[in-house]
Structure 1
């Protein structure tokens, strides 16, 4: 008998072999695509940037750091202010694409601290799409530590940006 890993690969190849190059099924069965995940709005944050520090040409592009000096956020389950700590350690590649690498700290209205991590890239329309992760030791907001979240960053003025954030949820059947 073959080891489980070989059987798994064999099953995958047999499955892939039944699909034609145009996505049709060789057995004339209709392929059912899964439903897309749902999105639940989490919050909008308005961030005020501070001093900018150009690190220079680094092996993967040009590195720049912009400090975060404050802001505020609000959504259905949480609201508060952005602590004056953190920043964006962005990287601009040779094609002009900017990769955001943001660290910010939220302080909720009820006194909890939430660390927010964001990474993503600019789009042709000037926005940036980011993936967000969260850390907190506060029981009320601990659920944030286990969610998948996405955001859209928009520049709204000199030193000002907005991030609209959603939680990715299981699709409805």
Structure 2
């Protein structure tokens, strides 16, 4: 019974696939982006941990910061970035273009007392720009929707120990 169903499904998919030639197919629609928040982060002095099998590790502690945006803050005061995270950055073992991979863990505290864990990974691009992928974890009912958000961010260096990340939530086309 199960194999008959799978065989029929395969035949239907093959017939449908024949009509979807890549020559006449429209390109897919791009997902949308909705501004989630902007975060300002103050970092501490980098601690070079040294070389390893994947490159040279550099740990930069997060000393604090603040965040605000239409989906997390409808009014002041700003949310707080707690001083309990860091970026465990990794430089490329091959030294290609001086590449750096961010691996950040940080904790946000909202103005109503909720805690949100933020996980970021990303790459510094050859032109010097830096992008991150973000994921979230919270048990707060008010912000529980963040647990399923797919977000991207653009990092802007303000100075040696300060940066800003503009963050957007991806939405369906």
Q: Alignment partner of 1:134: what SS? A: strand
What residue ranges of structure 1 are gaps of 5+ in the alignment? 25-29
1:54 lines up with 2:48 in the alignment: yes
**Which of residues 150, 153, 156 is equivalent to 2:155?**
153
Q: Deviations 1:51-86 (Å, cap 9, x if unpaired)? A: 321111100111110000000101012240100110
How many residues align? The count is 163
**More displaced, 64-73 or 10-19?**
10-19
The gaps in structure 2 that reach 5 residues or longer are: 74-78
Q: Which residue of 2 aligns with 1:27?
A: none
TM superposition shift of 1:9: 9.7
What is residue 170 of structure 2 aligned with on the other side? 168
Kindly tell me: are residues 69 and 13 of structure 1, through their superposed partners in 2, closer, same or farther at Cα, counting changes over 3 Å?
farther
Which region of structure 1 is more displaced relative to structure 2, 80-89 or 119-128? 119-128
- The 1:100–1:10 alpha-carbon spacing in structure 2 relative to 1, beyond 3 Å, is farther
> 1:68 pairs with 59, 62, 83, which one?
62
TM-score when scaled to structure 1?
0.84
TM-score normalised according to structure 2 size: 0.84
Which aligned pairs between 1:28-39 and structure 2 lie closer than 5 A? 30-39=24-33
Q: CA RMSD in A?
A: 2.4
- Matched residue of 2:143: which SS? helix
Whichever structure has more strand as a proportion of its residues is: 1
Tell me how far apart the structure 1 counterparts of residues 58 and 14 of structure 2 sit (CA, whole Å): 44
